[in-house]
Amino acid sequence: PALDKANEVPDSEKVARSTQALGGMREALRQVLEKVEEARGTKDVVKLNCANEKLTQIKGLLRISEQADVALQEAVSKQEAAPGEHEFTKVMIAQQKVGQLRSAAEECIGQLAFRTDENLFVEVEEPDNLPGGDPTRPAPPPDLVVRPPPASPID
């Protein structure tokens, strides 16, 4: 979703949205930690490295966001518009990036590719006009006819 312009959001709303965004980012961090543990459990180094990279990036964005949230609260309490707008924008951008990184971490583990409903039911209809037999067990090739060599070789 597009970011709201920071100057159009009231100060009290900025603080509330920032606090809510931090909560969402912490939840995303927890989910990615689970993905890292899952990769560690499967002993898949490629998945582990991929998920760890996303985790590290999320931690950095969360740290920046927490600092920006504190600075936002200070700016709002001092009624300083420009610094408050800047800090609010930082948190909102970080929130979007953390969401993208969480999705990327799920892709690392393969969750998005294989996520299905446990009540999934697949019904297969076999067309009537198919040739018979099991395609995994083809008929053996016909016997080769070997001709005997000529009776009188010509040089």
Q: Is the pLDDT of residue 32 over 90?
A: yes
Give the pLDDT mean for 102-131: 72
Beta strands in 84-123 (DSSP E): none
Has residue 107 got a pLDDT over 80?
yes
Section 95-104 average pLDDT: 93
Contacts of 103 (CB under 8 A, 6+ apart): 112
Q: Which residues 6+ apart lie within 8 Å of 146 measured at CB?
A: none
Q: Is 130 exposed, middle or buried (0-12, 13-18, 19+ CB in 10 A)?
A: exposed
Amino acid 112: pLDDT: 44
Confidence grade of residue 153 (pLDDT, cut at 50, 70, 90): low
Q: CA dist 92 to 29, 59, 74, 81, 101, Å?
A: 16, 15, 17, 16, 14
Q: Is 124 helix (H, G, I), strand (E, B) or coil?
A: coil
d(CA 95, CA 89): 10
Set out the domains of the chain in order of their start, with CATH numbers.
Answer: 10-108 (1.20.120)
Q: Take residue 57 and report the two structure tokens written for it.
A: 């990036």
The answer to whether residues 76 and 11 touch, using CB atoms and an 8 Å cutoff, is yes
Integer angstrom CA distances of residue 141 from 134, 137, 144: 15, 12, 9
The pLDDT-based confidence of 1 (bands split at 50, 70, 90) is very low
Higher pLDDT, 140 or 67: 67
